[in-house]
Amino acid sequence: MNQKLKSYTAQTYVAYALIAPAALYIILIVAWPLLETIRLSFTNSSLAGEDYVGLENYQKMFSSKKFNGIVTRTFVWMFFSVSLKLIIGLIGAVLLNANLKGRSIFRVLVMPPWVVPIAIGMLGWLWLYNGYFGIIAGVGMRTGILDGPFGFLAYKQSAFISTIIADVWVGTPMVTVFFLAAMQGVPKDLYEAAYCDGASRWDRFFKITLPQITPVIITMSLLSAIWTFNSFEIIWILTEGGPRGATTTLIIDTYKQALGNYKFGRGAARAVVVMILLMLFAGFYLALLARINKKISHE
């Protein structure tokens, strides 16, 4: 319509004017802070003031064994958490996709962990993980798996696993809902044709459903990797990165350095590492989206 009514340039001006408030807001609150973080990473900024220190923050960071351990730990934590979310989410979606009574109720009942504020949900997990009075330790003690009270968040390995489980709990509903939506988008006639050819339920899943929803599985793996990487509240509330650093991921370390000790410079250097990794993820994701879109428009 617009070509008829107004010239292209006038239209552009109107569009830009309409977008300007949102764009300026994001530039001020997101884009400028990102650039400022990069600048701060070359200073020893603190509440007292700042001086340019060149690459000192980076040199210290990369030469510290602790930091390298944190990077490795972040990726191990992420790997387990994302894999579990995808596997459990896929199984959940298959179960809820079955044409049985009550499935519409179950579909709503999956969502609470996703919707409820993470910080509040984690209080429930703190209680579940309680070594003396919690239900998990209780079941362990009564079945004889545990020979006494066991603080799940108090030991290095069990804290690592416990935070992963809580993160999987938060992330699984969304993965399930997206997989379910994708499964319902698979054309019904594909199944009917396969059924007529005598394909078993199993065959239909592996030869039709899975290939059809692969783009969504790939997209969700990346998205969920990004969100898991960013996960802050879960670890912060359950363990604050402890015991003895066993659950300190990059995001937790960045936060501790920057706002625990008000060492803005050192924190900023860590934030820059986080930023670069996130940009890599985002780049992958956007390239993938562009490819999928192209494929769809070609078909």
Partner 1 sequence: MNKYNPFEKILIYSGILVFMTFILLPFIEMFYASLRPLNHLFRSPYQFYSDDLSFWAYREMWNTVPMLGRYIFNSFFLASCVAILTLIFVIPAAYAYARFKFPAKNTSLYVLLAINMFSGAVILIPLYKLLRTLGLLNSYQSMIIPGVAFLIPTAIWLLKSYFEKIPIDLEEAAFVDGASRVQILRHIIAPLSTPGLVVVGIYAFIGAYAQQFLFAITFNQKKEYMPIPTGLYEFIGYQSVKWNEMMAAALVGMLPVLLLFIFLQKYIVEGLTAGAVKN
Select from 182, 239, 241, 248 the one that contacts partner 1 (CB under 8 A): 182
* Residue 55 vs 193, nearer CB to partner 1: 193
Select from 7, 26, 59, 156 the one that contacts partner 1 (CB under 8 A): 26
> Under DSSP, is residue 230 helix (H, G, I), strand (E, B) or coil?
helix
The gap from C-alpha 60 to its chain's centroid, in whole angstroms, comes to: 29
CB of 72 to partner 1, least distance (A): 19
Say whether residue 240 binds partner 1 (CB under 8 A). no
**Which stretch of DSSP H or E encloses residue 92?**
helix 65-97
CB of 253 to partner 1, least distance (A): 10
CB of 159 to partner 1, least distance (A): 18
Burial degree of 254 (CB within 10 A; 0-12, 13-18, 19+): buried
CB of 216 to partner 1, least distance (A): 6
CB of 77 to partner 1, least distance (A): 15
Q: What's 116's DSSP letter?
A: S
Q: Which of 190, 183, 226 is nearest to 96 (CA)?
A: 183
Q: Would you state the structure tokens that stand for residue 83, as one six-digit string?
A: 């894999």
Give the Cα separation of 141 and 50 in Å (integer). 54
Total of residues contacting partner 1 (CB under 8 A): 102
Q: What's 46's DSSP letter?
A: B
* Residue 3 vs 65, nearer CB to partner 1: 3
Site for partner 1 in 242-281 (CB under 8 A): 251, 254-255, 258-259, 264, 267-268, 271, 274-275, 278-279, 281
CB of 113 to partner 1, least distance (A): 6
Site for partner 1 in 117-146 (CB under 8 A): 117-121, 123-125, 127-128, 132-135, 137-139, 141-142
Cβ atoms 5, 14 nearer than 8 A: no
Site for partner 1 in 46-65 (CB under 8 A): none
Select from 51, 54, 189, 296 the one that contacts partner 1 (CB under 8 A): 296
CB of 60 to partner 1, least distance (A): 17
In the shown chain, the binding pattern of residues 186 to 225 toward partner 1, with x for contact by CB under 8 A and - for none, equals -----xx--x--------------------x--xx--x--
Site for partner 1 in 89-108 (CB under 8 A): 91-92, 95-96, 98-100, 106, 108
- Mutual angle of helices 210-230 and 264-298, in 10-degree steps: 170
Whose tokens are 């890599």? That residue is 280
Give the Cα separation of 79 and 229 in Å (integer). 10
CB of 68 to partner 1, least distance (A): 20
Say whether residue 159 binds partner 1 (CB under 8 A). no
* Residue 70 vs 258, nearer CB to partner 1: 258
Contacts 24+ apart (CB under 8 A), 278-285: 278/226, 278/229, 278/230, 281/222, 281/225, 281/226, 281/229, 282/226, 284/222, 285/219, 285/222, 285/223, 285/226
